[in-house]
Amino acid sequence: MRRLPRFILLLALAVLLHGCGLLGQNEMPPLVSAADPRHQTGDDGIVLLGAEWCGYCKQLRAEFDQADVDYLELDVDTDAGDAALKSVRSRIVPVTIIGQRVIVGYDIYRIRELLAPLGYRL
């Protein structure tokens, strides 16, 4: 009889974590504010939210440049970049926005997967 309440508690915790975005995919929910870069990307636009001091941002920037990816970069240390970062509910960089998809962190496999249909090979 004691196992059932523990199971229900664990199930409720999993549902709560998933609802908060702490469990599951690292893609973000639909548009939430005017500062959200997805307003500009349409179905195939690319935006990189990064910072000069971020090593993964530098690496991703170099890979984008080498592959001739047409993208817009917003520096999160500026007002516009900070507002964009907050609008996608992230506190870390890089954040890559491809169309309406938001990839938080340096998830190169997911980025490659989303760039391939657009004709880019990293």
- At 43, is the pLDDT very low, low, confident or very high (cuts 50, 70, 90)? confident
pTM of the predicted protein model: 0.73
Q: What is the CATH number of the domain that holds 82?
A: 3.40.30.10
Q: Would 20 be classed as within a structural domain?
A: no
Give the whole-angstrom CA distance, residue 34 versus residue 47. Answer: 15
**Tokens 């997805």 map to which residue?**
38
How many domains does the chain divide into? Answer: 1
Q: Would 18 be classed as within a structural domain?
A: no
Q: Are 23 and 14 in contact (CB under 8 A)?
A: yes
- At 42, is the pLDDT very low, low, confident or very high (cuts 50, 70, 90)? confident
Q: Are 48 and 71 in contact (CB under 8 A)?
A: yes
Q: Is 52 helix (H, G, I), strand (E, B) or coil?
A: coil
Mean pLDDT rounded to a whole number for the chain: 85
Is pLDDT of 60 > 50? yes
Is pLDDT of 12 > 50? yes
Is pLDDT of 95 > 70? yes
